[in-house]
Amino acid sequence: MTQIENRIWDKEHECMPRTQLEQLQLERLQQTLRRVNEQVPCYKNKFSTLGIKPEDIRSLDDMARLPFTTKEDLRLNYPYGMFAVPMRDVVRIHSSSGTTGKPTVVGYTRNDLRTWTQLAARFMTAAGVSADDIVHIAFGYGLFTGAFGLHYGAEEIGASVIPISSGNSDKQIMIMQDYQSSALVCTPSYALTLADRMEQQGINIDTLSLRVGLFGGEPWSEEMRREIETRLGIVATDNYGLSEVMGPGVAGECCHQCGMHIFEDHFIAEIIDPDSGEVLPRGSSGELVLTSITKEAFPIIRYRTRDITKLEYERCECGRTHVRMLKTMGRSDDMLIIKGVNVFPTQIEEVLFQIDGCEPHYQLVVERAGTMDTLEVQVEVNERIFFDEMKKQRAFVDMLEKRLLSALGVGANVKLVEPSSIPRHEGKAKRVIDKRNQGGAQ
């Protein structure tokens, strides 16, 4: 596989010495706090309830005194109550892909769009995209931030953008072949769906021009990365973001693929204990909390992302000084508690992807039998295993159940299902069917 080059989009900011970076963060934070205190009633009330004035925050360590912002705050202020500028200054609106209730609405000023474009250009450059690339954007264009974020980033770099949007895999593949797409942008699960479809059509990947993938929008394991890299013959990179904080462009991997650099000249990252809310020491795994320090329309203070990760402060070989967030285990809301043991879907994915015969498509069904939660892992297997004799199939299931037990510390029932029987998604995959809440598929 060809190694991607290490280009840097904005050397001054991305490689800034940390003391200077932290000084810049503090100045920008103080400005943001002053603005939200004046312009956003939700923050004014939160600060006054805690008896905090923006000028009390004199160091980055003082941040722990600031209140959190939660999804609930955004719901209570739906749709525009968190905006810090009048609507006449807002030039774009997006919203989050919430599964329940009202979505959260986010706005951007002209400057916010410029920043977003620059940050998307940064992580796309770090992933190896250049003006020579043909960037195939298979995220849905619409209220979701994915497509527009990467679209403008790629144009800024000077690449040629194909805004194909999501869906219609056969057409995606035809365009990929005919237009010679070299960089694929979508969710990692959709990249695998495309790989499956190519195999079904007997397409030799050497006839494609693809060389790099920029995947994000959902959690995915290292095992899934290897699967995508092998099957599509590309370098697969990870990028992270969330609409409440900006969209894609909060963090992205460089060519070393060792965690996503969080663009710390625009965001401050903390890791907290999701239960107590305490800030955890460096190197701990916990919930990522993000504060925006340059956004105009929709600044956000200590937003509880619910994403569980770890920050790596060790200097990266690429020269960037910005902290790296490791692959998230998933959202704390997606964590299952099975017989008292915490289980993330990505842990199950890691096991399944290591086993020859399992296809990279699975679904988890959680049910309650009496007071006990049970977990069924439905996994597609290849035809040889699916149509094998009962005895061999049973042995395969036993082996899988043993491997899951040792990796998760709790038992799960495995059900082998036919190839192509688990629903495919064009955007974010839905891995969990939770039958504990009446009729509730989440």
247 contributes a contact to ligand DLL by CB under 6 A: yes
Residue 162, φ and ψ in degrees, nearest 5 = -110, 105
Count, residues near ligand DLL per rule CB under 6 A: 21
The stretch near ligand DLL (CB under 6 A) out of 236-244, 293-301, 378-386, 413-421 is: 236-244
State the number of CA atoms in the 13 A half-sphere of 118 facing the CB: 14
**1, 229 contact by CB (below 8 A):** yes
Nearer to ligand DLL, 140 or 357 (CB): 140
- Candidate ranges 42-50, 71-79, 214-222, 412-420; the one touching ligand DLL (CB under 6 A): 214-222
Size (the chain), residues: 442
Establish how many alpha carbons lie within 13 A of residue 287's alpha carbon, considering only the half-sphere containing its beta carbon. 21
Q: How far is CA 222 from the centre of its chain?
A: 14
* Smaller CB separation from ligand DLL, 113 or 417: 113
Amino acid sitting at position 310:
K
Residue 40: partners with Cβ closer than 8 Å, 6 or more residues away: 81, 82, 83, 84, 299
CB of 302 to ligand DLL, least distance (A): 15
CB neighbour list of residue 110: distance below 8 Å, 6 or more residues apart: 89, 91
Contact with ligand DLL (CB under 6 A) among 217, 259, 299, 345: 217
Site stretch for ligand DLL (CB under 6 A), options 42-50, 52-60, 107-115, 143-151: 143-151
User: CA 324, CA 97: separation in Å to the nearest integer?
Assistant: 25
Count Cβ atoms below 10 Å from residue 279 Cβ, excluding itself: 16
Span interacting with ligand DLL, options 84-92, 129-137, 144-152, 408-416, rule CB under 6 A: 144-152
Q: What does the per-residue mask of binding to ligand DLL show for 155-194, with x meaning CB under 6 A?
A: ----------------------------------------
Least separation in angstroms between CB 288 and ligand DLL: 8
d(CA 266, CA 269): 10
Nearer to ligand DLL, 26 or 264 (CB): 264
**Of 73, 112, 156, 307, which one interacts with ligand DLL (CB under 6 A)?**
307
Least distance in Å: CB of 238 to ligand DLL? 5
Can you tell me which of 73, 218, 287, 296 binds ligand DLL, judged by CB under 6 A? Answer: 218
Least distance from ligand DLL to the Cβ atom of residue 95, Å: 8
* Alpha-carbon gap, residue 315 to 320, rounded angstroms: 7
Burial class (CB in 10 A: 0-12, 13-18, 19+), 289: buried
Decide whether 133 or 218 has the Cβ nearer to ligand DLL. Answer: 218
Q: How far is the CB of 223 from ligand DLL (least distance, A)?
A: 14
Q: Is 419 exposed, middle or buried (0-12, 13-18, 19+ CB in 10 A)?
A: middle
Work out which of 115, 125, 166, 239 binds ligand DLL, going by CB under 6 A: 239
The residues that touch ligand DLL, with contacts defined as CB under 6 A, are 96-97, 144-146, 216-219, 238-243, 247-248, 305, 307, 328, 331
